[in-house]
Structure 1
Amino acid sequence: MLLGASNVFSFAPFFMWPLQFLSLATLFLLFVAHPEWNKKQVFLLGFTYAFGMMFGGVSWLLIAMTRYGGMAWPLALIALAFLAAYMSLFSAFSLLLARSLRQRWGLSNTILLLAVLPALWALFEYLRGYLMTGFPWLTLGYAHVVSPLAGLAPVLGVYGLSGVVALIAGAIGLALCSEQRLVQVSGIALVATVLVASFSLRQVAWTEVQGQPISVRLAQGNIDQGNKFNTEFIDSTLSLYRGMVTEQAADLIAVPETALPILTSQLPQDYLSDMRRYALNSGSHLFIGVAVDDGDNRYSNSVLGYSAQAANVYRYDKHHLVPFGEFVPYGFRWFVNMMKIPLGEFASPGVLQPNMQVKDQRVMPNICYEDLFGDEIAQQLRAQARTTQGAASILLNVSNLAWYGDSIAIPQHLQISQMRSLETGRPMLRSTNTGATAIINPRGEVVSQLPTLSLGTLAGQVQGMQGLTPYIRFGDSTMAGISGLALLGAYLSGRRRRSFKK
């Protein structure tokens, strides 16, 4: 469990990514060194390792449950433990399946470490990211937006990077556990080969410049979550964002997710019309985060867009909704009733939605949690590329992480956005309530950022990019295909090994 917890330091804000290789290599060595362990022992090995990482890595959820949800600490700790336990099942089952394949196919430690464990780790992380709406936080690949492996992201995506991390860990484990000099050298050579390949791919320009740069202004209102939905603060919040939007024109102006803390039907009658009028008069393009009331008890967590270039109001609706935040899973109403957080049942329009034109660029929003799902963003860009409008050249994330205070959730989420830029070869703009409001370039590098928990507007110039990276074209199917081939190779190796024994 402590070994798994140490993996948290591989991610932002610590960036100790080499620790991840050593941590995972130790786990794999424990696994291969004990072929006599039964199913329960192997399950506990994988479960406790993952539990240490998950419980420590998402402990910021306690802030939302206790400080803003009013839940008692003991109950909040139990709830966090249940979530961490659920996420840990995937790592546990990956080791259980590896144990089964080792026995069925008669696999050597070399094949286990270099093929089976990396393939299964990547596939089970993918499953964790999508089953039951998915919770892909702390996917191993996110730690490597600043590591030498970053060059692989536009090809393999974050889950493919997780598989590569497991491959390197397996190679390190092989070099440590083998007594044969040739095997030790081969393990080290494999690590060097992967790093050279990633460095070479880092030099490839998968996308190219589109049009002229645009000026952007990204608002960070720094509204305390405890006050956000308080009726006494609503007027001041609306006034604050009106002033932040209209203080200076820019090609793109964005405010965070649900920056306007009441439904569109509850806003002052002239509020949104004034925003639209400002966009028309100033030549700015506005992206406003607000909950839209469509009537008949249908609500959407949305971004509304206003510009002089379009006669109609642009609208993007959040499609990947957060369990317990934007919808209540069946059978869990009792849990929600224990908290005092205002939860809505939002509607989901589906993944594919249009982008919005901003001068020479096309901007594709996503809302908060949605940028954890890289394959869905790739799917959007792939579908848009087949239209006459073309694929978005700039990504925009609007978020509200005020639920989690000044915790590691904020730099972790920024790191996730950096991965999306690497995968797509496009800049990512982030407008958030309390942080991290930032501009990320197509290479996944943070160009500029506002201090966390500060009121301000981040201004800059952003160049849009066009073209499709391999990840946009194929999504996570590349990772799945390589993992499948690795398992097929392991099967054939095991069959050949068994035939030699006969």
Structure 2
Amino acid sequence: MLTAYRIKLLSSIVAGASLPLAYSPFGLFWIAPLSYAALFYLWGGATPRRAFLLGFAYGASSFLVGMYWIYISIHDFGLVPASLAVALTGGLVAILALFVGAAGWAAARWFPTTGPFAWFGVLPALFVLTEWCRGWMFTGFGWLSAGYSQTDSWLMGYAPVLGLHGMSWAVMLSAGALVALLAGASRTRARALALLTVLWGSGWVLTDVRWTEPNGRLLNVALVQGAVPQDLKWRPEQLRPTLDLYRRLTLESRGSQLIVWPEAAIPAVYGNVAAELDALRSEVEQFGAAVMFGILRRDDVTGTFQNALMTLTDPPSVYVKRHLVPFGEYFPVPDFVRNWMRLMSLPYVDAAPGDALQPPLELVGERIAVTICYEDVFGAEQLHYLPEATVLVNVSNDAWFGDSIAPHQHLQIARLRAAEAGRYLLRSTNTGVSAIIDPSGRVTARLPQFEPAVLADTVQAFTGSTPYSRWANFPVILGVILTLLTQLATTKFTMRRGT
């Protein structure tokens, strides 16, 4: 027979498993506040231990359902044995779930978990604080942060003002208000309705505010999607067909000023194909185009490889990926584990990261802010580009995730980066989703997945600064910390008066 606590635990798992439906490709954004509201309700009156377990169960189910594609990249394309792939996927899910569990434990340990102070203050603030920590601790992994679920809702209006975590706070406050509507007294319900009206009404108003402006220059661009299958990409016999494919698609882009290839579009080290790329440079220069292409290059200092985006110019400009993927591009393990990985024929060589504050690339009269692959998850790390950068470019190889939900989630993340910066973002990927995103975060054009194609369009370069590009996460994190400190002081004062 199920006890009341076991029913709560099961409910937490179900609520967490439903959360990924709020994100792309499903787009049911209204599920996010409902799902978090269920968690807040379940936390009410729980002991610290049980609050932690409820939060951990919620986090584990939401991350497992929303990020099952980690297994695909590790096993199907990384060729890691199934048992080890399951262990690595489960380990990542457990680490991410710990942050949700920690929020529940802290709430039950030091704060009230029921009543207006909990629903409108403590629980939303704690969740945002732990979500922010998840974005940078242990190298950071902010995937499935609450704010990403709202790219198609009125809450997107907060993106250029308060960024991702400001949107997450709005989602959490909405969740708290829903709990108050369900469990609060009549006065509390009235406050909850007022809060929902202000939150969503303000977001709606902000969607029409433009914080940046065009600089008057139009840019003809082309995004090249080679759609080379990941299981074929790095075979030696595939190099020549890949070079020929990208040459053909590039020459089809005649009339474009800027042509962008995906991450590691050419499966080789730059020095080994420099002659072929120089020949192509001579061809594209005849019709006045510049090409940005993803490729590997040797690090002159360490001798190991770097994941880079280079320009087909003389001399070439280079951006080197600075935020590397743990267990994908570097391996934070002791030497004995690395030796075992080598013996097992598993990847074990670390890539060399680029400098943290690389300047924008100056090309075709614009300053272009570059990110490679999942670097675009780290919004605050890109703010050093602004306001100098006029266009954003993200290149990726989401072929690692097959025909899963991951490429759609990644596109949703890129949409938020464009809105935070108030700039067009050009997103070129190997198999999709390649797209052009406007300064409000709307997709204006995209290519079908898994098809070789070129996406040509005209975009505008933008200048100016959004509030978020000036303040970063400081206002939101300060706000949630002050909220929690105020509640701590209030609780202590009330306890002293009671004695």
TM (normalized to structure 2)?
Answer: 0.93
Q: Which of 188, 198, 201 in structure 1 is aligned with 2:206?
A: 201
Kindly tell me: are residues 336 and 130 of structure 1, through their superposed partners in 2, closer, same or farther at Cα, counting changes over 3 Å?
Answer: farther
1:172 partnered with 2:178? yes
Alignment correspondent of 2:331: 328
Alignment correspondent of 1:280: 285
TM (normalized to structure 1)?
Answer: 0.92
1:478 partnered with 2:475? yes
Alignment correspondent of 1:420: 417
- What SS does the aligned partner of 1:212 have? strand
Alignment correspondent of 1:62: 71
- What SS does the aligned partner of 1:291 have? strand
Alignment correspondent of 1:433: 430
Instruction: Give the stretch that moved more between structures: 324-333 or 439-448.
Output: 324-333
CA offsets 1:415-447 (integer angstroms, 9 cap, x no match): 000000111111111110000000000010000
Kindly tell me: are residues 14 and 251 of structure 1, through their superposed partners in 2, closer, same or farther at Cα, counting changes over 3 Å?
Answer: same
Instruction: Give the stretch that moved more between structures: 76-85 or 8-17.
Output: 76-85
The number of residue pairs the alignment matches comes to 483
Alignment correspondent of 2:294: 289
Q: Which amino acid aligns with 2:310?
A: L
Alignment correspondent of 2:380: 375
Looking at structure 2, the residues matched to 340 and 221 of structure 1 have their Cα atoms a distance apart, in angstroms, of 29
Alignment correspondent of 1:388: none
Alignment correspondent of 2:163: 157
Q: Which amino acid aligns with 1:370?
A: E
1:261 partnered with 2:273? no
Looking at structure 1, the residues matched to 262 and 346 of structure 2 have their Cα atoms a distance apart, in angstroms, of 19
Q: Which runs of 5+ in 2 are unaligned?
A: 1-12
Q: Which amino acid aligns with 1:318?
A: K
Matches within 5 A, 1:181-200: 181-200=186-205
- What SS does the aligned partner of 1:364 have? strand
Kindly tell me: are residues 335 and 47 of structure 1, through their superposed partners in 2, closer, same or farther at Cα, counting changes over 3 Å?
Answer: farther
For the 8 Å contact 2:293–2:310, the answer to whether it is kept is yes
Alignment correspondent of 2:351: 346
1:251 Cα shift? 0.8
Looking at structure 1, the residues matched to 227 and 16 of structure 2 have their Cα atoms a distance apart, in angstroms, of 34
Q: Which amino acid aligns with 2:146?
A: L
CA offsets 1:257-278 (integer angstroms, 9 cap, x no match): 00010111222x5222123323
1:241 partnered with 2:246? yes
CA offsets 1:139-176 (integer angstroms, 9 cap, x no match): 11101111110001111111221122111101111121
For the 8 Å contact 2:319–2:361, the answer to whether it is kept is no
Matches within 5 A, 1:286-325: 286-295=291-300, 296-307=302-313, 312-325=315-328
1:405 Cα shift? 0.7
Alignment correspondent of 1:492: 489
For the 8 Å contact 2:51–2:105, the answer to whether it is kept is yes
Kindly tell me: are residues 372 and 335 of structure 1, through their superposed partners in 2, closer, same or farther at Cα, counting changes over 3 Å?
Answer: farther
Alignment correspondent of 2:498: 501
Looking at structure 2, the residues matched to 321 and 13 of structure 1 have their Cα atoms a distance apart, in angstroms, of 26
For the 8 Å contact 1:122–1:159, the answer to whether it is kept is yes
For the 8 Å contact 1:244–1:457, the answer to whether it is kept is yes
- What SS does the aligned partner of 2:355 have? coil
CA offsets 1:187-210 (integer angstroms, 9 cap, x no match): 111111111111222221110111
1:45 partnered with 2:50? no
1:94 partnered with 2:83? no
Alignment correspondent of 2:8: none
Looking at structure 1, the residues matched to 141 and 179 of structure 2 have their Cα atoms a distance apart, in angstroms, of 29
- Cα RMSD over matched residues? 1.9
Alignment correspondent of 1:11: 23
1:500 Cα shift? 4.5
CA offsets 1:102-140 (integer angstroms, 9 cap, x no match): 2xxx67621122111111111111111111111111111
- What SS does the aligned partner of 1:192 have? helix
For the 8 Å contact 1:379–1:475, the answer to whether it is kept is no
Identical-pair percentage: 35
- What SS does the aligned partner of 1:211 have? strand
Kindly tell me: are residues 138 and 253 of structure 1, through their superposed partners in 2, closer, same or farther at Cα, counting changes over 3 Å?
Answer: same
Kindly tell me: are residues 151 and 336 of structure 1, through their superposed partners in 2, closer, same or farther at Cα, counting changes over 3 Å?
Answer: farther
For the 8 Å contact 2:155–2:167, the answer to whether it is kept is yes
For the 8 Å contact 1:70–1:339, the answer to whether it is kept is no
Looking at structure 2, the residues matched to 353 and 242 of structure 1 have their Cα atoms a distance apart, in angstroms, of 28
Kindly tell me: are residues 7 and 312 of structure 1, through their superposed partners in 2, closer, same or farther at Cα, counting changes over 3 Å?
Answer: same
1:410 Cα shift? 0.7
For the 8 Å contact 1:427–1:442, the answer to whether it is kept is yes
For the 8 Å contact 1:25–1:172, the answer to whether it is kept is yes
- What SS does the aligned partner of 2:268 have? coil
Q: Which of 95, 106, 118 in structure 1 is aligned with 2:124?
A: 118
Q: Which amino acid aligns with 2:482?
A: L
For the 8 Å contact 2:342–2:348, the answer to whether it is kept is no
For the 8 Å contact 2:72–2:400, the answer to whether it is kept is yes
1:406 partnered with 2:409? no
Looking at structure 2, the residues matched to 166 and 316 of structure 1 have their Cα atoms a distance apart, in angstroms, of 37
